[in-house]
Structure formats: structure tokens, C-alpha cells
């Protein structure tokens, strides 16, 4: 995603903002992250006496599976990062290179999405998950596996004890 800063660099304004939508296919994230919608992105650019820097805010929506019950879900994440814009240094986490008055934030945006995506999400906070005994999804049909049943061995022991009383 390339932004042309030429107009901003040539005027006296100290701040400008670009509101952009990035095609989810352009970001081409690997299968670990399934973007559902295009990514909303606002890029603020500031001039200071000896610096040019940018604040980037992103909101993206992706599909995942609940960490407890494995149901499909959608999750939305908002994140942001700051970079210095400069003409001489190489791009890294803190710098983006200005070439012909343009910056390309694509790789930094991808990285930001990778870093901000939660490792685990739940379909709902109180997801009851899947029963490890019978495999039923307890959000839909609660099974009886966890009901207190008396272990048959203990039952016979109880009978034995009864007799002695
Ligand atoms: Zn769940
Ligand atoms: Zn069960």
C-alpha cells in the first residue's frame, strides 16, 4: 500500500491524515490469518523540525475457531504502530523509507496484523467447550458426563461397609 506524500511535503501543513481501505487480498497473509474484510487503515503523518513520522491505525476482521469448542467465529482487532519516515535508512520496525516522496507501508501493516492477532479466542467468554468424554459441544447440548456418578467399585465398597454397621 503506497502513499504519495508529495503534496503534504510541499505545503506548510504539519499534519495530514489518509483514510484508506486495504484490499485483504493485497495483504496476502498466509493461511494462519483469514481476513474476512478489507482492512481499515488511517495513516497520520507529522512533520517536526527534523523529522517526519507516521502513526498508523488498523482495524481488521478475521475468521478463526474457538479455542474451546472449535466453532467458527469472527474476531475484530484494532491496533496501531508508529514509524519514522526517512530517506536514508533501511526499513525496519521503526522506520519506513521515503522513495520519490512515497512510502510503502504494506510490510509493516502485515507485520502489525501478525503481532496483534490473539493466539486464542473464544466464541464467547463463558464457552462451555467440548466434553472430553463424549465429544458433544456443551454450548448446545449439555451431556451428563460430568454429573456425579458413583464409581461402581466405590458402590460395592459402600455396600460392604453398610453390612458391617
Ligand atoms: Zn466456543
Ligand atoms: Zn459428555
- Interstrand relation of 15-22 and 34-35 (parallel, antiparallel or unpaired): unpaired
Reported as a single tens digit per residue, the pLDDT across 114-145 is: 999 999 999 999 999 999 899 999 999 888 88
pLDDT for 24 equals: 87
Do 1 and 108 touch, CB atoms closer than 8 A?
no
Computed on alpha carbons and rounded to an integer, the radius of gyration of the chain in Å comes to 27
Task: Tell me, in angstroms, the distance from the centre of ligand 1 to residue 107's CA.
Answer: 32
Average pLDDT score over residue span 71-80 = 96
Do 57 and 17 touch, CB atoms closer than 8 A?
no
All 3 cell numbers of residue 39?
482492512
Alpha helices (H) along the chain: 6-10, 24-27, 106-116, 152-164
User: Is residue 89's pLDDT more than 80?
Assistant: no
pLDDT for 138 equals: 92
- Interstrand relation of 39-47 and 95-97 (parallel, antiparallel or unpaired): unpaired
Task: Tell me, in angstroms, the distance from the centre of ligand 1 to residue 67's CA.
Answer: 7
Q: Please tell me whether residue 152 adopts helix, strand or coil conformation.
A: helix
Q: Please tell me whether residue 8 adopts helix, strand or coil conformation.
A: helix
User: Is residue 79's pLDDT more than 80?
Assistant: yes
User: Is residue 165's pLDDT more than 50?
Assistant: no
Q: Angle 22-118-38 (CA atoms, 0-180°, nearest 5)?
A: 15
Average pLDDT score over residue span 90-118 = 90
pLDDT for 160 equals: 65
Which ligand minimizes its atom distance to the CA of 66?
Answer: 1
Other C-beta atoms lying within 10 Å of the C-beta of residue 57 = 16
User: Is residue 21's pLDDT more than 80?
Assistant: yes
Confidence at 88, pLDDT banded by 50, 70, 90: confident
Alpha-carbon distance of 103 to 88, in angstroms, equals 13
Task: Tell me, in angstroms, the distance from the centre of ligand 2 to residue 73's CA.
Answer: 23
Task: Tell me, in angstroms, the distance from the centre of ligand 1 to residue 66's CA.
Answer: 5
pLDDT for 59 equals: 97
Do 63 and 56 touch, CB atoms closer than 8 A?
no
- Provide the residue ranges of all domains of the chain, joining segments of one domain with +: 2-127, 133-165
Alpha-carbon distance of 119 to 65, in angstroms, equals 11
Task: Tell me, in angstroms, the distance from the centre of ligand 2 to residue 153's CA.
Answer: 21
All 3 cell numbers of residue 26?
493485497
Amino acid at each position: 500500500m503506497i502513499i504519495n506524500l508529495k503534496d503534504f511535503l510541499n505545503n506548510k501543513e504539519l499534519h495530514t491524515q489518509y483514510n484508506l481501505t486495504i484490499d485483504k487480498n493485497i495483504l496476502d497473509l498466509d493461511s494462519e490469518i483469514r481476513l474476512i474484510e478489507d482492512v481499515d487503515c488511517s495513516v497520520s503523518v507529522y512533520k517536526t523540525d527534523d523529522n517526519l513520522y507516521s502513526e498508523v491505525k488498523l482495524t481488521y476482521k478475521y475468521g478463526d475457531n474457538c479455542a474451546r469448542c472449535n466453532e467458527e467465529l469472527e474476531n475484530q482487532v484494532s491496533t496501531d504502530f508508529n514509524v519514522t519516515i526517512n530517506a536514508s535508512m533501511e526499513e525496519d520496525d521503526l522506520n519506513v523509507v521515503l522513495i520519490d516522496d512515497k512510502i510503502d507501508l504494506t510490510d509493516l501493516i502485515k507485520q502489525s496484523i501478525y503481532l496483534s492477532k490473539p493466539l486464542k479466542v473464544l466464541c464467547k467468554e463463558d464457552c462451555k467447550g467440548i466434553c472430553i468424554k463424549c465429544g458433544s459441544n456443551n454450548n448446545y447440548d449439555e451431556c451428563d458426563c460430568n454429573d456425579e456418578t458413583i464409581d461402581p467399585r466405590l458402590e460395592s465398597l459402600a455396600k460392604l461397609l453398610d453390612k458391617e454397621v
